[in-house]
Amino acid sequence: MTHFPDVDSIPFEGPQSGNPLAFHHYNAEEVVEGKSMRDHFRFSVVYWHTFRGTGADPFGAPTLLRPWDDGSSSVDNACRRVEAAFEFMEKLGSPYFAFHDVDIAPEGDSLAATQKNLDVVADVVEREMLRTGIRLLWGTANLFSHPRYMHGAATSCNADAFACAAAQVKKCLEVTQRLGGENYVFWGGREGYQNLWNTDLKRELDNLGRFFHMAVDYAKQIGFTGQFLIEPKPKEPTKHQYDSDAAACINFLRAYDLTDHFKLNLETNHATLAGHTMMHELEYAALQGMLGSIDANRGDLLLGWDTDQFPTDIYQTTRIMLVLIKHGGLGSGGVNFDAKVRRESIDPVDLFHAHIGGMDTFARGLKIAAAMRADGRLQQMLDERYASWSSGLGSDIENGKHDFASLESLMLSQGDASPNTSGRQELFENLVNQFI
């Protein structure tokens, strides 16, 4: 039984090919800077958008009615969907996927029934993983859709919601471990507030820290060795999310003594919603040793929410790949397409176009970044800009040979700082353009 009868495995055909169902730049085997493209990216397809996205929005009904999906919340339907998903990922050549518990299996009328459904569908997922060799990048529990989490999950004013969330994460960790998941993600969802008058900020943050420690303890207990990741996002659904950006997450992790157990999963559209660039978020997390994985997508400059579009901006992927190569790659993380086709893109084949485009855009970014690094001028100009720190006074300061008094006496005898040199921003920008 095939769910995508009109699509074969997507081949690499090179930049000249006119075939829309071929890769033009992503060539899994091609080695760039000593590593195959497959290993640079570790691309991952997300189950929630690609197989559960309906096209519904606050103004309109679902538009994406898939032939393999009967629209019911039966376990049979969920199992058929898994088969369609793995056929898609196999044809695409995606080495990884990611899911929320509720994406793959329907919720039952009790916690026990929900857990049972998850076990049944996980059997099919496991079988398909073995058949195709596709692996699990990460699992996560959806702690934001169900009405019981209206006030939050770990940060709810209702202790029962905290307990339900604990049970859900416990189960999801078990399933993630069983499926060989290489990471486990927490995205805050409703962990935040709408109004400070009715919010006990300290208590909510303490409880969130407590919740993460329980997860760490349980992982240890069952021998789950995957990397824990926190995914920053500044707003939506709450007006203030506790995991707003990389800096806020790292501060939270330090404050609650969790930095040994967590890294960050950075998402492009979340970075831009926070008023940062993705490059900023990546650099900031990486320089503190906290970069774990990325959710690849993009927003729309004219829309103020998380539009989760597929990445097609070569500047953006070039920047991302420059930072990733510089910091030695993603380790157990990957490039996870947390992106959805538009509501109007209603054909199953659009799922292929979307992912092919994303993978090709990242491949171009990688090749451009590698060319910039091989050329060396960008790095050289950067080094020149900071030359005063590489010898003489700058290097003495960096080596701890000075204090306020010694620097004062130096400047008293010198009279003033030496003249500044140009920042040459325009030249930097022109140089980058030579490679795009």
Q: Which residues bind ligand XLS (CB under 6 A)?
A: 100, 140, 185, 187, 231, 233, 267, 295, 306, 338
User: Which pair of structure tokens corresponds to residue 178?
Assistant: 């069983």
Is 49 part of the annotated catalytic residue set? no
Pick between residue 291 and residue 322 the one whose CB is nearest to ligand XLS.
291
Site string for Ni ion, 400-419 (x = CB under 5 A): --------------------
Whether 362 and 321 have beta carbons less than 8 Å apart is answered as yes
3 state DSSP class of 116: helix
Is 100 part of the annotated catalytic residue set? yes
Q: For Ni ion, which residue of 101, 182, 338, 360 counts as binding (CB under 5 A)?
A: 338
DSSP 17-84: ---TTSBSS--TT-EETTEEHHHHH--EEEHHHHHH----BTTB------TT--S---HHHHHHHHHH
Minimum distance from residue 265 beta carbon to ligand XLS (Å): 7
Q: Of 276-335, which residues contact Ni ion (CB under 5 A)?
A: 295, 306
State the Cα torsion 123-127-133-137 to the nearest 10°.
Answer: -10
Give the pairing type, strands 240-241 and 291-295. unpaired
Pick between residue 87 and residue 107 the one whose CB is nearest to ligand XLS.
107
Minimum distance from residue 2 beta carbon to ligand XLS (Å): 29
CA distance 185 to 263: 10
Whether 59 and 392 have beta carbons less than 8 Å apart is answered as no
Pick between residue 162 and residue 187 the one whose CB is nearest to ligand XLS.
187
- Of these partners, Ni ion, ligand XLS, none, which one is at the site of residue 140 (CB under 5 to 8 Å by kind)? ligand XLS
CA distance 64 to 285: 36
Q: What is the number of other CB atoms lying within 10 angstroms of the CB of residue 390?
A: 11
| Angle, CA of 225, 152 and 55, to the nearest 5° | 85
Minimum distance from residue 304 beta carbon to ligand XLS (Å): 14
- Of these partners, Ni ion, ligand XLS, none, which one is at the site of residue 78 (CB under 5 to 8 Å by kind)? none
Catalytic residue among 101, 103, 295, 308: 103
Minimum distance from residue 100 beta carbon to Ni ion (Å): 10
Minimum distance from residue 187 beta carbon to Ni ion (Å): 6
Tokens 């420690």, residue? 213
Catalytic residue among 100, 270, 280, 355: 100
Minimum distance from residue 277 beta carbon to ligand XLS (Å): 17
* Residue, CB closest to ligand XLS: 187
Is the dihedral angle over the CA atoms 93, 36, 181, 141 positive or is it negative? Answer: negative
Residue positions counted in the chain:
436
Size of the site for Ni ion (CB under 5 A): 4
User: Which pair of structure tokens corresponds to residue 241?
Assistant: 């999310």
Pick between residue 100 and residue 280 the one whose CB is nearest to ligand XLS.
100
Q: Is 182 in the site for Ni ion (CB under 5 A)?
A: no
- Of these partners, ligand XLS, Ni ion, none, which one is at the site of residue 83 (CB under 5 to 8 Å by kind)? none
Q: Of 257-276, which residues contact Ni ion (CB under 5 A)?
A: 267
Pick between residue 300 and residue 408 the one whose CB is nearest to ligand XLS.
300
3 state DSSP class of 184: strand
Among all residues, which ones are annotated catalytic? 100, 103
